């Protein structure tokens, strides 16, 4: 991963947050398990972990809607989503660590090359996560779930970031850990590095 990250160049670098810049996916999964079980979701912790991993990058409201559809449940999507994000923020955020090679790449290029974060997370949680790993101040643009109508795998977030940075999509390089994010980068006509 180090050689790919340091050798591939672009006119702008676009980073996912959770699982790419921040080693936060296992912590998010713990928050999901706790919140879904608090709402009497019948899925096991392993089943929840599996679906959250599969849907990584998707806005949390859409994750609940997908769980409801797949398992014939009727969990209140907005309520569960908000409470899960708050649970992560209140009880788990302090555990987040940086993913060193990706953060090193960011620090090498920030200030000389336009950089942005594109996340399916809620803004207050994404910004706090970026603060926790010491990189929020480096970003010119931060695109979160509230900024787009269609989250990953739709390309809307990546295209909006490129537009705000004033860079053509074909000149952007995306760093992503999740398959839905890779699909969004491809749909946006951008090159990508799978972290």
pLDDT band at residue 4 using 50, 70 and 90 as cut-offs: very low
How is residue 88 annotated by DSSP?
Answer: I
Catalytic residue among 16, 18, 23, 177: 16
pLDDT of residue 7: 66
Q: Tell me whether residue 16 is one of the annotated catalytic residues.
A: yes
pLDDT in tens, 172-185: 999 999 999 999 99
Query: How far is the C-alpha of 99 from the C-alpha of 37, rounded, in Å?
Result: 29
Q: What is the largest CA-CA distance in the chain?
A: 50
Domain chopping of the chain, boundaries: 2-24+96-194, 25-94
**Mean pLDDT of the 19-31 span:** 94
- Over 80: is that where the pLDDT of 6 sits? no
21-25, 50-54, 57-61: segment of lowest average pLDDT: 57-61
Residue 5's pLDDT is: 56
DSSP tag of 17: S
Please tell me the distance from the alpha carbon of residue 12 to that of residue 22, in angstroms, as a whole number: 20
In angstroms, rounded to a whole number, what is the distance separating the alpha carbons of residues 173 and 193?
A: 7
Tell the CATH superfamily of the 2-24+96-194 domain: HAD superfamily/HAD-like (3.40.50.1000)
The H-assigned helical ranges of 39-138 are 45-54, 60-71, 77-87, 100-109, 123-132
Average pLDDT, integer, range 55-75: 93
Strands, E assignment, 30-154? 115-118, 141-143
pLDDT digits (tens, 9 = 90+) for 29-58: 999 999 999 999 999 999 999 999 999 888
């Amino acid at each position: 991963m180090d050689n790919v990250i340091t050798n591939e160049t672009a006119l702008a670098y676009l980073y996912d947050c959770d699982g790419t810049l921040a080693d936060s996916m296992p912590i998010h999964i713990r928050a999901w398990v706790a919140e879904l079980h608090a709402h009497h979701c019948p899925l096991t912790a392993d089943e929840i972990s599996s679906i959250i991993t599969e849907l990584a990058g998707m806005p949390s409201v859409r994750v609940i809607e997908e769980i409801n559809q797949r398992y014939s449940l009727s969990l209140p999507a907005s309520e569960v989503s908000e409470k899960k994000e708050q649970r992560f923020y209140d009880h788990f955020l302090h555990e987040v660590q940086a993913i060193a090679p990706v953060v090193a790449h960011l620090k090498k290029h920030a200030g000389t090359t336009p950089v942005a974060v594109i996340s399916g997370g809620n803004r207050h949680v994404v910004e706090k996560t970026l603060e926790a790993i010491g990189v929020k101040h480096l970003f010119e643009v931060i695109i979160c779930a509230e900024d787009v109508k269609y989250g990953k795998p739709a390309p809307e977030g990546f295209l909006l970031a490129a537009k705000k940075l004033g860079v053509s999509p074909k000149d952007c390089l995306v760093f992503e850990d999740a398959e839905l994010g890779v699909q969004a980068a491809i749909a946006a006509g951008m090159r990508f590095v799978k972290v």
